[in-house]
Amino acid sequence: MTRRYSIFALVRNALSYHENWPQVWRSPEPRPEYDVIIVGGGGHGLATAYYLAKEHGITNVAVIERGWLGGGNTGRNTTIVRSNYLWDESAALYEHALKLWEGLSRELNFNVMFSQRGVLNLAHNQHDLRELHRRINANRLNGIDSEFLTPRQIQAMVPIMDLRGNGRYPVLGASLQRRGGTARHDAVAWGYARQADARGVDIIQECPVTGFRITNGRIEGVETGKGFIRAKKVGVVVAGHASVLANMAGFRLPITSLPLQALVSEPVKPVIDTVVMSGAVHAYVSQSDKGELVIGAGVDKYVGYGQRGSLPVTEETLAAVCELFPLFRRMRMMRQWGGIVDTCPDASPIISRTPVENLFFNCGWGTGGFKATPGSGWVFAYTIARGEPHPLNAAFSLDRFRTGYLIDEHGAAAVAH
C-alpha cells in the first residue's frame, strides 16, 4: 500500500531523519503472463498503465523498460506544455492532455510542479504573423485560450528580449497561451509509476524486449531479456525505437528517428518567468526553478540513434538565442544532450491498432510528446482496453497514410519541426 504524501508525512519522517520513507514502487520479477504488457517505461507508457488500472480496471499489467524509468525522452525534453495546435483533431487531443495536467499533481498525490507560466510563440516576419493570427483564431474556435501580443506587450512580459526590430530576427508579435507552461519531467514519470504500482501494475526495469511471438497474425507475448512473457495484449510506446520494434513485429512505420537536442546553462537569478518559443529559428527558452536556462534546439537532418545531436544544430540555436536575448551572450552552457524523437511525415502521432491483432502502437510524437503525456496515456489505455480507438485518437491511426487523411501540423503547430 502506497502511503499518501502530505505535510504530516513529511513532518513524521523528518522526526526520523528521513530514513524511513518506504520504497516508492516495487521491483518485481515478471510473472509468466499478463493481460496487458506495455513496452516502454517513459511518461507515456507509465501513464498508459496508470489509466488502464484506474479507468478500465485492468490491473494485471506489466510495464517493461530496457533502461530505467523516464531515462529516455521523458528525462531529455524541455518540459514545455501547451495545446495551441492548429487542426481540430490535434487541438482536441492536446487540450485533453492539458486539462489532465491541470489536475495531475492532486490526482497522483505527487507534485509534478506544473507551472502555468504561459507560452509565447514568436513571429519574425509577415508570413509568420499571418500564420500566427490564423492559429490564434483556430485555437479560440476550439475553446483553447490564445491571444495576440504586440511587441510592446511582449516587452512588458519579457523585458530581456531584443525588440528594437533591427536585429537578425525582428519580433513582430507573438501568440500567448496563458494556460501553457512547464512541468517537472522526472516527477511525471515517478508520479505515474507510483500510482500505477499502487494499483498492482508490475514495473520491470532493465528488461529489453528482443522480439514478439506472433501466431496467425495475433500477438502471443514478448521475448525479453528476462525470458518469454505471455500477454493477451501488448502496447508499444518507445518513441525513437518505434521502427525497431515494428520491424520485430514484421511491419514498417512512416517514422524517421532523429536526435533532438537541448541544453542547460549555468544557473542565474530569475530573468525569464515564461516560456519563449521561436519555431522559425529553432530556439525555445525557459528558466528552471534552479535558475538554469533550459534551451531546446532543432533536430538533426539525418537518421540517428546516437543521443547526442549534431554541432551545427547547437550552433544555429545558440546564435538565435543570443540574437533574441543579447543578455545571454556571455552565459556558459553546462550540459548538452540529445533524445531520439520519432518524427512522422505529418508531424502528428500514431495511436493505433497495427497489422498484428492485439498489438497496439503509440508513436510518432516527434519533437512534442512531453506535453501530451497524460492525454496520450489516457487515449492509449482506452484503445488497448476496448480494442478500438477513442474518438479523440480515431483520426491518429496508422491507416491515415493509406487514406490520405493526414493531420499536417508541420509548421502549423506553432513550431517548425
Sheet holding 147-149, edge to edge: 147-149, 173-177, 119-123, 275-278, 283-287, 293-299, 256-265, 333-343
Nearer to other proteins, 18 or 252 (CB): 252
Hunting for cell 497514410 — which residue is that?
401
63 close to 261: Cβ distance less than 8 angstroms: no
With CB under 8 A as the contact rule, which of the stretches 182-190, 212-220, 251-259, 325-333 interacts with other proteins?
A: 251-259
> What does the alpha-carbon distance between residue 98 and residue 120 come to, in Å, rounded to a whole number?
16
Restricted to residues 388-407, the positions that interact with other proteins (CB under 8 A) are 401-404
Among 306, 334, 386, 387, binds other proteins (CB under 8 A): 306
Q: Check binding of 303 to other proteins (CB under 8 A).
A: yes
With CB under 8 A as the contact rule, which of the stretches 15-23, 54-62, 299-307, 378-386 interacts with other proteins?
A: 299-307
Residue 23, helix vs strand vs coil: coil
Residues 6+ apart with CB under 8 A from 275: 80, 82, 117, 118, 119, 120, 180, 181, 182, 284, 285, 286
Q: State the nearest-atom distance from the C-beta of 330 to other proteins, in Å.
A: 24
Q: Check binding of 243 to other proteins (CB under 8 A).
A: yes
Amino acid letter, residue 280: A
11 close to 158: Cβ distance less than 8 angstroms: no
Q: Check binding of 311 to other proteins (CB under 8 A).
A: yes
114 close to 98: Cβ distance less than 8 angstroms: no
Nearer to other proteins, 39 or 275 (CB): 39
String of contacts with other proteins for each residue 198-237, x by CB under 8 A: ----------xxx---------------------------
257 close to 342: Cβ distance less than 8 angstroms: yes
> What does the alpha-carbon distance between residue 104 and residue 106 come to, in Å, rounded to a whole number?
5
Q: State the nearest-atom distance from the C-beta of 40 to other proteins, in Å.
A: 13
Q: Check binding of 252 to other proteins (CB under 8 A).
A: yes
Q: State the nearest-atom distance from the C-beta of 234 to other proteins, in Å.
A: 16
Among 84, 146, 261, 310, binds other proteins (CB under 8 A): 310
Q: Check binding of 244 to other proteins (CB under 8 A).
A: yes
> What does the alpha-carbon distance between residue 361 and residue 397 come to, in Å, rounded to a whole number?
9
**Angle value at C-alpha 164, between 295 and 312, nearest 5 degrees:** 35
Q: State the nearest-atom distance from the C-beta of 416 to other proteins, in Å.
A: 16
> What does the alpha-carbon distance between residue 279 and residue 50 come to, in Å, rounded to a whole number?
33
Among 28, 167, 345, 387, binds other proteins (CB under 8 A): 345
Instruction: Compute, in degrees rounded to 10, the torsion defined by CA atoms 185, 190, 192, 197.
Output: 170
Q: State the nearest-atom distance from the C-beta of 257 to other proteins, in Å.
A: 6
Q: Check binding of 327 to other proteins (CB under 8 A).
A: no
Restricted to residues 352-391, the positions that interact with other proteins (CB under 8 A) are none
Residues that bind other proteins (CB under 8 A): 208-210, 241, 243-244, 247-248, 252-257, 301-306, 310-312, 345, 401-404
